Amino acid sequence: MAQLKTFPTKRSWTDLDFELDAGFGSRAHIGMVVISNDQTLSREARAMLDLPGVALYESRVLAARQKNKAVTMEVLRKQADDIDLAVRQINNLRPSDVVALGCTSAALIIGPDELRRHIQNVHPNALVTDPFTGIVAALRALGSQRIAYVSPYPRDIAERMITGIEATGGEVVVAGAFHNANGNIGDEAPFISPASIELAATRVINGADVDTLVIACTQMRAASVIDSIEKQTAKHLITSNQALCWHALRLAGCSDAVPGWGQLFQTGLAP
């Protein structure tokens, strides 16, 4: 049987005074639910939301899609099943001011009302966003009317997203999809190089009468080439992760103009 540890009777202890402050999130607590197979969002979100007084807390939810399986609308709908539990695990000491769900296609298929219901089951007062909602808000904020679209999604999901984008009043006039006939693009998406993303963006935009390019999917490692693409093309660029982080910040009342992440991060919410 283990012996209980005894402490020297002559050791001196001092009670220490301290003061409390607001912690890391003096301005805003942003909670984020990341899909378990996502390789990109956590890193890009931490870079984009690295602002004084802004705290980012995240949890993960198991991916409904299994490796080597295709992305389907049915699978994306199932992603809602475990959201409540994932939200509870974000930060159980302080409710989030804004909760963001990190999957563009799942958010589109589940729908903002259903997402809000799941999240506000846990944090009734939290504002809610997701990448697709962020993209729509970004298009409005930038006044986008003629849009180019790039994603790694199957055609049916991409067309569903384009329809949602056009419901905002703009027109998607040209689109491109990353494709590999001998692979599974769902698994390969996070490993598409930023250089390939930049090349694809310029190829789709080239010669097209557009004012904005949307690169959809939180797996796309596009953050590092946002400024470069905007400079090369003289078009606005909206990516899933950029739009999600920007919208979460603006909903939290943070109006900072942050360099390095494109024109969107210099812009406020549309009236």
**What is residue 66's predicted lDDT score, i.e. its pLDDT?**
72
* 149 DSSP β-pair partners: 175, 214
First-to-last CA distance in the chain?
70
Average pLDDT over residues 166-186: 88
Nearest to 140 by CA among 177, 105, 167: 167
**Rounded percentage of the chain residues whose pLDDT exceeds 70:** 96
Residue 80 banded pLDDT, cuts 50, 70, 90: confident
Strands (E), the chain: 28-35, 54-61, 98-102, 127-129, 146-151, 171-177, 212-215, 236-239
Q: Judge whether residue 181 has pLDDT over 80.
A: no
**Rounded percentage of the chain residues whose pLDDT exceeds 90:** 80
**What is residue 219's predicted lDDT score, i.e. its pLDDT?**
94
In the Cβ-directed half-sphere of 113, how many Cα atoms lie within 13 Å?
0
Q: Which tokens in the block code for residue 159?
A: 């067309």
Least confident window among 37-51, 56-70, 247-261: 56-70
**What is residue 1's predicted lDDT score, i.e. its pLDDT?**
59
**What is residue 67's predicted lDDT score, i.e. its pLDDT?**
73
Average pLDDT over residues 194-216: 96
Distinct helix (H) and strand (E) counts, the chain: 11, 8
State the average pLDDT for the chain.
Answer: 92
**What is residue 4's predicted lDDT score, i.e. its pLDDT?**
67
Q: Judge whether residue 159 has pLDDT over 90.
A: yes
Set out the domains of the chain in order of their start, with CATH numbers. Answer: 28-132+243-266 (3.40.50.12500), 134-239 (3.40.50.12500)
Residue 236 banded pLDDT, cuts 50, 70, 90: very high
**What is residue 139's predicted lDDT score, i.e. its pLDDT?**
98
**What is residue 126's predicted lDDT score, i.e. its pLDDT?**
95
Q: Judge whether residue 120 has pLDDT over 90.
A: yes
**What is residue 188's predicted lDDT score, i.e. its pLDDT?**
93
- Can you tell me the distance from the alpha carbon of 85 to that of 122, in angstroms, rounded to the nearest whole number? 9
Q: Which tokens in the block code for residue 194?
A: 């930023």
Q: Judge whether residue 179 has pLDDT over 90.
A: no
Q: Judge whether residue 2 has pLDDT over 70.
A: no
Q: What is the pLDDT of residues 21-60, one digit of tens each?
A: 999 999 999 999 999 989 999 999 999 999 999 999 999 9
**What is residue 8's predicted lDDT score, i.e. its pLDDT?**
67
Q: Higher-confidence residue: 8 or 164?
A: 164
Average pLDDT over residues 120-139: 96
**What is residue 33's predicted lDDT score, i.e. its pLDDT?**
95
For 192, which DSSP code? S
**What is residue 76's predicted lDDT score, i.e. its pLDDT?**
83
**What is residue 116's predicted lDDT score, i.e. its pLDDT?**
93
Task: Report whether 200 contacts 232 (CB < 8 A).
Answer: no
